[in-house]
């Protein structure tokens, strides 16, 4: 939904809301982006929930989990920015250590980018992946170990853990 503030206000900004409300309804303007037919990848599940990542968000889902019913391959392209967020660093290192194999899930939060947060941010991103791994069904743990297998992504406020 796009909303333009009236010109009488001192700032004429464009405000965009992309998330569906917590009750799951999708705004009419966004329904065109939600597939209603076709083939979906077999063996993958996805879900989202409101968990309160950002205190001011009291209504919209802010955590997403996409998982595979078995370990799978993954690849990624990462920013070359000097100030890479902790999830970028953690995910890049994890994919490199696993050689892109045995990936089980992607966990994504909105509201806190975990960027420019130092060692504590790295620890938080690692923990986010480890906790996600523990939440996966036992049937996905057949890859023989190799460390964490959940890719971590974050978007939102910079400088906050």
Please tell me the distance from the alpha carbon of residue 52 to that of residue 63, in angstroms, as a whole number.
Answer: 9
Q: What is the mean pLDDT of residues 68-97?
A: 92
- pLDDT per position as a tens digit, 112-151: 999 999 999 999 999 999 999 998 876 544 455 667 899 9
Confidence at 154, pLDDT banded by 50, 70, 90: very high
Could you tell me if 153 and 106 are in contact, meaning their C-beta atoms sit under 8 angstroms apart? yes
pLDDT bucket at 9, cuts 50 / 70 / 90 = very low
Please give the full DSSP string across 99-159, using - where no structure is assigned: TT-SEEEEEEEEEE---S-HHHHHHHHHHHHHHHHHHS-GGG-TT---S--EEEEEEEETT
Under CATH, what is the fold of the domain 37-157? Answer: 3.60.70
- Position 2 scores a pLDDT of 42
Q: Are 151 and 74 in contact (CB under 8 A)?
A: yes
Q: Binning pLDDT at 50, 70 and 90, where does residue 5 land?
A: very low
pLDDT tens across 31-72, in order?
787 766 666 678 888 888 999 898 888 888 899 999 998 899
* Mean pLDDT value across the chain: 81
Give the per-residue pLDDT at 38: 67
pLDDT surpassing 70 at residue 3: no
Predicted confidence (pLDDT) per residue in 99-117, tens digit: 999 999 999 999 999 999 9
């Amino acid at each position: 939904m796009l909303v333009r503030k009236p010109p009488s206000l001192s700032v004429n900004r464009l405000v965009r809301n992309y998330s569906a409300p917590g009750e799951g309804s999708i705004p009419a303007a966004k329904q065109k982006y939600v597939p209603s037919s076709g083939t979906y990848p077999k063996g993958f599940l996805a879900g989202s929930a409101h968990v309160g990542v950002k205190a001011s968000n009291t209504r919209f889902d802010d955590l997403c989990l996409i998982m595979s019913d078995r370990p799978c391959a993954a690849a990624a392209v990462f920013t070359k920015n000097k100030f890479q967020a902790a999830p970028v660093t953690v995910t890049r290192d994890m994919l490199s250590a696993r050689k892109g194999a045995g990936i089980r899930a992607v966990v994504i939060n909105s509201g806190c980018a975990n960027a420019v947060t130092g060692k504590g941010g790295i620890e938080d991103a690692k923990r986010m992946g480890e906790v996600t791994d523990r939440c996966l069904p036992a049937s996905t743990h057949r890859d023989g170990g190799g460390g964490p297998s959940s890719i971590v992504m974050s978007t939102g406020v910079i400088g906050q853990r």
